[in-house]
Chains A and B, each alone.
Chain A
Amino acid sequence: MALNTKKSNLGLYIAALIVVIWIVFPIYWMINLSVQTEKEIYSVPPYYIPPNPNINNYWFIFDIDAAVKYFLEQGMSLFLFIPGSIKDFPRAILNSVIIAGVVMIYNLIAGTLGSFALTRIRFKGAMPLFYLSIVGRLLPPVVIAVPYYVIIRSIGLLDTLWSVIMVHIMFTMPFTIWILNTYLLGIPTDIEDAARVDGYSYFEILRKITFPIIKPAIVAIAITSFMISYGEFFYALLLTKTAASRTIPVIIGSAMSEPRVVKGLICAMGVLAMIPAMAIIIIFRRYLIRGLVAGAVK
């Protein structure tokens, strides 16, 4: 706030410190556990700083045989067991990236085209269609879970990447259209109208004039749809059964739901799952803040 000056600076720094701890600590804790051996994790009291950091857990994720051998050597005293799903983790990374990538690209193309048509081409029914897409945004995911599962099962697409991709597109598209529409409506159409008079077709206008202007919003929705799809758990869990289509959240979630699992491995998987999303946020922070915010607030 503009009028707050030095008087309350100390308070601001204390508040900032609290926010930093609130956000960083859980991330730190996961990294902390992921570089400890299982014995260290199971010590009371817990180590706040890893006593001898090592990246064995990261190594074990990709080489499950080595992990089994290692834990046998360590002795069975802890009665731990390694969830079998962990060996699917490398495949899950690939699945997650494919699914989120396809969802992102589809959103990028179809969302841009769709919201361009909804805001820049005058036709009857633009408003109803826009409202329908907003209703799609407000549709609780679980509402269509049962029918979607039944439909997918009946057409034999269960346990394929496609089943997950389609439902993720359905959930991200309304958000994409909403953000792009509000962004587009906030931009004067003078240049586009002039180009229209000069005889440009709609696609030329989109490519040459509109697209460069709305680039930040497009980047923002691309990242958002990637992120939503990447972290989505519910549908991925419903629709996937085998390694062929499981995603990272499914592997971690189902590993966590088993008793007495090897915590170090799960933490290492968690850290690996966090990295891409955090990297994207840091790299594209400007676009995110500008594109999303300008789109959502107006």
Chain B
Amino acid sequence: MVSKTATLFICLIPALTPLFLFGFYPLTYAFYLSFTFYNLKTPIEPYFYGLGNYFALSEDPVFIRALQATGLFALITVPLITLISLGQALLLASQFKGVKYLQVLALLPWGIPLVVSSTVYRLFFDFNFGLFNDLMVKLGVINQYVSWLSMPWSALFIVALAHIWVNTPLPTLLILAGIQSIPKELYEAAYIDGAKTFARFKMVTWNWLRPIMLIVLVYSSLSALWCFDPIYVITAGGPADFTKLITFYTYEKMFSYLNFGHAGAITILILGLTGLLIYAYFRALRLGRVRLRV
């Protein structure tokens, strides 16, 4: 018989080693990099740079632009992912013929690599051969073909679309499970009290779903903050840096400019943003919480 301590070690070491070795150790290294002058394009050896990287970033207009782009992207995708997945989940929780098939179907995009979905959306909105232009002309919305990918706002929306398409199934599944776990008595009680459909939704469904909505909000905000694949495939940051999200900017700093110090400083800022975001959501959804007694 193996002793308890030995069991613990055998069980925990395989699970936690990768986390510490490839997660937390590189993280401390990122802090070190962010305070270091580390640029492979110069012959200068890495040296301690203090806050130099951060100052350099704060003066870089492209960095500011990337922050704005990420903010805009989050403002577009987070509400859309939340609303679409809530809508889908409400639909999938209803009873009608074929809903079981629909549940599986709604899960499909989750398995498709983001690169592939981005490819599809880029071909959709292709200037000459894209489907979208043809549809719009046939519907009479536009007179002639429009180059959607070279206009800032439409390019951002196309990137967002590819991102949303892949990132709605998981929240949908979570919300669906939440809806299915609502006790029927709550609806009946609300019904007897004379609540209309919308009031029932607000009082019962919404309150019950609140913790799950928190998870969905955190998930979708983080995925917006981390979005990379659609940018790489669809716009490469263009037009005029309008869709250059922070992740893509970091990638460029690393591999086009080979400036690891700057890239390190950006990643630390991203980490800070992530923490702030999570904290803000927890504060916002905790305050003024209506407690329902079941």
CA distance A44 to B134 in the complex (A): 8
A99 / chain B contacts, CB cutoff of 8 Å: none
Tell me if B287 is interfacial: C-beta within 8 Å of chain A: no
Tell me if A61 is interfacial: C-beta within 8 Å of chain B: no
Closest partner residue, chain A, to B164 (CB atom): A22
B255 / chain A contacts, CB cutoff of 8 Å: 238
CA distance A23 to B107 in the complex (A): 9
CA distance A150 to B103 in the complex (A): 43
Closest partner residue, chain A, to B12 (CB atom): A117
Q: Per DSSP, are chain A's interface residues mostly helix, strand or loop, or mixed?
A: helix
Tell me if A111 is interfacial: C-beta within 8 Å of chain B: yes
Tell me if B110 is interfacial: C-beta within 8 Å of chain A: yes
CA distance A140 to B228 in the complex (A): 12
B222 / chain A contacts, CB cutoff of 8 Å: 138, 140
Tell me if A263 is interfacial: C-beta within 8 Å of chain B: yes
Q: Contact mask B95-124 → A, CB, 8 Å, 1/0?
A: 110110011111111111111111111111
With A129-B12, A170-B18, A293-B173: A147-B225 Cβ-Cβ less than 8 Å: no
- CB pair B94 A257 closer than 8 Å: no
Partner-B contacts on A (CB < 8 A): 1-4, 9, 12-13, 15-16, 19-20, 22-24, 26-27, 29-30, 33, 41-46, 48, 106, 109-111, 113-118, 121, 123, 129, 132-133, 136, 138-151, 166-167, 169-170, 173-174, 177, 201-203, 227, 230-231, 233-234, 237-238, 248-249, 252-253, 256-257, 263, 266-267, 270, 273-274, 277-278, 280-282, 285, 288-289, 292-294, 296-297
- CB pair B112 A231 closer than 8 Å: yes
B110 / chain A contacts, CB cutoff of 8 Å: 227, 281
- CB pair A147 B15 closer than 8 Å: no
Closest partner residue, chain B, to A20 (CB atom): B105
17 additional contacts (CB under 8 A) given A116-B11, A140-B270:
A1-B90, A2-B187, A12-B94, A12-B96, A33-B123, A117-B12, A129-B16, A143-B271, A144-B26, A150-B29, A150-B33, A202-B7, A249-B113, A252-B116, A256-B118, A277-B111, A297-B181
- The tally of residues in B whose CB lies under 8 Å from a CB in A reads 103
CB distance from A251 to the nearest CB of B (A): 9
- CB pair A16 B107 closer than 8 Å: no
- Contact residue among A13, A48, A202, A274 (Cβ-Cβ distance under 8 Å from B96): A13
Closest partner residue, chain A, to B174 (CB atom): A296
- CB pair A138 B274 closer than 8 Å: yes
Looking at B74-82, B147-155, B259-267, the stretch in contact with chain A turns out to be B259-267
- Contact residue among A16, A26, A115 (Cβ-Cβ distance under 8 Å from B165): A26
| Interface hub of A136, A144, A227 (most chain B Cβ within 10 A) | A144
- Contact residue among B15, B99, B114, B122 (Cβ-Cβ distance under 8 Å from A231): B114
CA distance A248 to B229 in the complex (A): 13
Closest partner residue, chain A, to B30 (CB atom): A147
Closest 10 CB pairs of A and B: A114-B15, A277-B111, A117-B11, A147-B29, A231-B113, A293-B177, A110-B14, A147-B26, A170-B22, A144-B26
- CB pair B18 A30 closer than 8 Å: no
- CB pair B233 A257 closer than 8 Å: yes
Tell me if B268 is interfacial: C-beta within 8 Å of chain A: yes
- CB pair B105 A133 closer than 8 Å: no
- Within B69-88, the residues touching A (CB, 8 Å) are 87-88
B18 / chain A contacts, CB cutoff of 8 Å: 110, 166, 169-170, 173
Tell me if B19 is interfacial: C-beta within 8 Å of chain A: yes
Tell me if B58 is interfacial: C-beta within 8 Å of chain A: no
B99 / chain A contacts, CB cutoff of 8 Å: 16
- Contact residue among A16, A113, A151 (Cβ-Cβ distance under 8 Å from B15): A113
Tell me if B232 is interfacial: C-beta within 8 Å of chain A: yes
Q: Contact mask B207-226 → A, CB, 8 Å, 1/0?
A: 00000100100000010011
CB distance from A24 to the nearest CB of B (A): 7
Closest partner residue, chain B, to A201 (CB atom): B1
